[in-house]
């Protein structure tokens, strides 16, 4: 929708197949940073770093490079397109599909695949064509199949500035260092936002830099001083009305999920009166779809707002709901999206107006937004092909006005490496190098370490590497003899499970010293650092100790799990209470309690619950592998699958049937269907008596059940 019309450039030297591809997309002129990239070797097998603002055409450069290499190799090149976020993977997959379709029209047979999420299911092979994946998924896959690194021909690193992110940066940087060390012939195309040290990033990647501040739509910042925070609401409403009457769309950024919901609901009353009857009809259909994709108060508020042309967007929504909001905004159906800053970092969603309502907030020890967060949010202003100018409105009180001026007129901050201060992620990286067979000596590990970004800016890695390797030896995950490194049996299990060694050490202690029964495993999972708990209400819990939580079983020293967590990680009372509340919520989940009941009881967002159960299922699976490697009897064999599907063990078998998810499995179980064979012996009229099953779904269930039972 936002692709601009470009005309009048035919002198640039482009391969004929690339020119034909651009012609089909209606592109007759490249943007300045795109032209510079071509001139600096985009089609000459050169490593390039493109550092440019949002909407300056970086993704098109990746399409052109991938297309050229696929055509030149007769469809045999293997392109790996790495993104930092799953939502971005979906977006890039859809865009890169055009490249594959073009190649197939030329008689070639490359494929395109998307592989994100569950690290329990690693990438087994890289087929000729394009694989879109996340850094975590590719990193985890290399532990199970290290030879994958030899299959990477072109590595596209999207949002490569993410190496400076405190959460994901270490893994992204480690992956790049690994591939560059063990796949010397790999070609690199790195795409970055405008950062303060793009030249340093390029030097690290042995890449030619293409650095530009050019934007297809001019950006204008307007700092709006308001007397007090309470005055901001009226100002936002006024700006929204003006934007929509001009035919534009708006993004409003806030730092609170709850306030984003409230803001969207309030703004929907302003926007609804500016919609046409046709738009209202389409929005009613969209709202119905939103309601089908989730439960709870948040879904009800989202559907209410969507029906009136507004949505909120944050990580608490389900992935399907977020995708629906993003697509409807791109299509112009939704007029306003109120979001937390995560949208600015992860999804390409431009708007005519960007309104930064929360400027100068104190969150913990930080002032929000940070300068780079501000640049990311502001960069969403201006829709190429639709707007002559993107407007950024910064709403601030007088005491924060000077900082706002500084942000507007200063350059982005430089990217800083996180890898040597990342602790658990660094140890996971080093253990993986040895366990997967990439490194057999300390000198080999150092060779990889010297390929990290931090090392390239003259910060030596030796002390951090040696101290982390010593920890891994002390914990029993590695053995070292005169510089030779080998992974122990347990170390291999830790590496292939993709748990951090720090979490694995704690989980092993819990299993060895307390037990592996489900009522021990669940709190062990939520108390380990690899489980990253979203906000949750613990008010429903009247349990002051883990012993009470676990039912006071006389055979288990329940408080010992709690003591181990405090000993290992130094949790305070608030953190312990939060993590134990999650253990109880997950206990309700595997017992088959309805989603709506769990969401209400713990004041949760659907997206948070579903991510938590996915993480818990992965950690439980990892624990089972650790137990097997350590010779510990694992007494929770079904827990990982029950966490995945959210059903008690009695109903788990029903989820094997196609079309039967969590809710339907519980309804079928309560209706007397306790096994796949029970379903196979049913009839269509009998199944349609179960709420939620129509004739078409009944036939699908019967066909699947009979296939599974061979009847």
**DSSP secondary structure letter of residue 674:** -
User: How would you write 268-314 as a 3-class SS string?
Assistant: HHHHHCCCCHHHHHHHHHHHHHHHHCCCCHHHHHHHHHHCCCEEEEC
What CA–CA distance (Å, rounded) separates 430 from 419?
11
Let me know how long the chain is: 711
| Nearest-5° Cα angle at 534, 532 to 535 | 140
Q: Could you tell me where the beta strands, DSSP code E, fall in 124-240? A: 129-134, 154-157, 187-192, 208-211, 218-225
Instruction: Please provide the DSSP assignment of 483-536 as one string.
Output: TEEEE-HHHHHHHHHT--HHHHHHHHHHHHHT--SHHHHHHHHHHSTTS-PPP-
How far from 493 is each of 430, 501, 624, CA to CA, in Å?
Answer: 14, 10, 10
How far from 279 is each of 200, 209, 274, 410, CA to CA, in Å?
Answer: 49, 45, 10, 41
Torsion sign, CA atoms 691, 692, 694, 696: negative
Q: Confirm or deny that 34 is annotated as ligand binding.
A: yes
Q: Residue 634: how many CB atoms within 10 A of its CB? A: 18
Structural contact between residues 182 and 155, judged by C-beta atoms closer than 8 angstroms: no
Query: What order of strands is seen across the sheet that includes strand 154-157?
Result: 111-115, 129-134, 78-83, 154-157, 187-192, 48-51, 208-211
**DSSP secondary structure letter of residue 662:** H
Instruction: Please provide the DSSP assignment of 67-122 as one string.
Output: HHHHHHTTT--EEEEEESSHHHHHHHHHHHHHHHHHHHHTT---EEEEE-S-TTS-
What CA–CA distance (Å, rounded) separates 322 from 326?
6
Structure tokens belonging to residue 581: 């509340």
Contacts of 465 (CB under 8 A, 6+ apart): 430, 442, 445, 446, 449
**DSSP secondary structure letter of residue 649:** G
| Nearest-5° Cα angle at 599, 363 to 283 | 85
Burial of 156 (0-12, 13-18, 19+ CB in 10 A): buried
What CA–CA distance (Å, rounded) separates 609 from 599?
8
Torsion sign, CA atoms 463, 468, 469, 473: positive
* Positions at the binding site: 34
* Residue ranges at the known binding site for ATP: 34
């Amino acid at each position: 929708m936002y692709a601009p019309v470009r005309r009048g450039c035919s002198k640039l030297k482009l391969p004929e197949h690339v020119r034909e591809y651009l012609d089909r997309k209606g592109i007759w002129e490249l943007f300045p940073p795109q032209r510079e990239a071509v001139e600096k070797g985009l089609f000459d097998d050169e490593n390039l770093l493109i550092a440019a603002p949002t909407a300056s055409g970086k993704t098109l450069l990746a399409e052109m490079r991938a297309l050229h290499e696929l055509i030149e190799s007769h469809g045999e090149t293997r392109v790996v397109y790495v993104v930092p976020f799953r939502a971005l993977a979906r977006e890039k997959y859809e865009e890169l599909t055009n490249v594959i379709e073009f190649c197939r029209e030329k008689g070639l047979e490359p494929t395109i695949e998307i592989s994100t999420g569950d690290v329990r299911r690693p990438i087994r092979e890289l087929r000729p064509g394009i694989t879109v994946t996340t850094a975590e998924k590719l990193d985890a896959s290399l532990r199970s199949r290290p030879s994958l690194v030899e299959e990477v021909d072109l590595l596209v690193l999207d949002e490569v500035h993410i190496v400076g992110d405190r959460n994901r940066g270490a893994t992204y940087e480690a992956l790049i260092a690994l591939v560059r060390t063990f796949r010397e012939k790999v070609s690199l195309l790195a795409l970055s936002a405008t950062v303060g040290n793009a030249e340093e990033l390029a030097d690290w990647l042995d890449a030619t830099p293409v650095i530009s501040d050019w934007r297809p739509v001019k950006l204008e910042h307007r700092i709006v001083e308001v007397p007090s925070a309470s005055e901001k609401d009226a100002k936002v409403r006024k700006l929204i009305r003006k934007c929509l009457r001009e035919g534009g769309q708006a993004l409003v950024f806030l730092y609170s999920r709850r306030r984003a919901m409230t803001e969207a609901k309030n703004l929907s009353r302003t926007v609804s009166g500016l919609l046409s009857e046709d738009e209202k009809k389409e929005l009613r259909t969209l709202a119905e779809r939103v309601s089908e994709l989730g439960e709870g108060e948040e879904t009800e508020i989202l559907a209410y707002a969507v029906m009136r042309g507004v949505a909120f967007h944050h990580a608490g929504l389900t992935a399907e709901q977020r995708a629906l909001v993003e697509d409807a905004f791109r299509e112009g159906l939704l007029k306003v999206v109120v979001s937390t800053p995560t949208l600015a970092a992860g999804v390409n969603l431009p708007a005519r107006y960007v309104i930064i309502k929360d400027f100068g907030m104190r969150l913990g020890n930080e002032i929000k937004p940070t300068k780079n967060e501000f640049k990311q949010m502001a960069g969403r202003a201006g829709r190429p092909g639709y707007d002559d100018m993107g407007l950024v409105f910064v709403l601030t009180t007088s005491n924060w006005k000077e900082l706002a001026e500084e942000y507007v007129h200063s350059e982005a901050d430089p990217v800083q490496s996180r890898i040597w201060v990342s602790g658990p992620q660094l140890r996971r990286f080093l253990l993986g190098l040895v366990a997967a067979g990439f490194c057999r000596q300390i000198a080999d590990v150092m060779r990889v370490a010297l390929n990290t970004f931090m090392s390239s800016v003259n910060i030596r890695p030796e002390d951090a590497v040696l101290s982390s390797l010593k920890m891994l030896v002390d914990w029993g995950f590695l053995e070292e003899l005169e510089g030779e490194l080998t992974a122990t049996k347990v170390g291999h299990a830790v590496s292939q499970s993709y748990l951090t060694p720090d979490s694995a050490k704690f989980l092993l202690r819990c299993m060895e010293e307390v037990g592996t029964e489900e009522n021990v495993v669940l709190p062990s999972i939520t108390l380990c650092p690899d489980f990253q708990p979203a906000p949750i209400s613990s008010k429903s819990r009247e349990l002051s100790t883990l012993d009470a939580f676990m039912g006071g079983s006389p055979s288990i020293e329940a408080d010992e799990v709690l003591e181990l967590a405090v000993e290992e990680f130094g949790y305070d009372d608030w953190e312990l209470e939060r993590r134990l509340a999650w253990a109880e919520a997950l206990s309700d989940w595997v017992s088959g309690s309805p989603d709506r009941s769990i969401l209400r009881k713990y004041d949760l967002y659907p997206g948070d619950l579903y991510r938590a159960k996915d993480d818990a299922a992965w950690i439980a699976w990892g624990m089972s592998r650790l137990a097997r490697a350590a010779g510990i009897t694992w007494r929770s064999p079904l827990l990982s699958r029950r966490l995945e599907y959210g059903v008690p063990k009695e109903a788990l078998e029903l989820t094997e049937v196609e079309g039967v998810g969590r809710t339907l499995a519980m309804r079928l179980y309560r209706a007397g269907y306790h096994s796949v064979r029970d379903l196979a012996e049913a009839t269509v009229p009998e199944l349609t008596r179960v709420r939620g099953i129509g004739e078409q779904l009944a036939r699908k269930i019967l066909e699947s059940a009979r296939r599974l039972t061979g009847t």
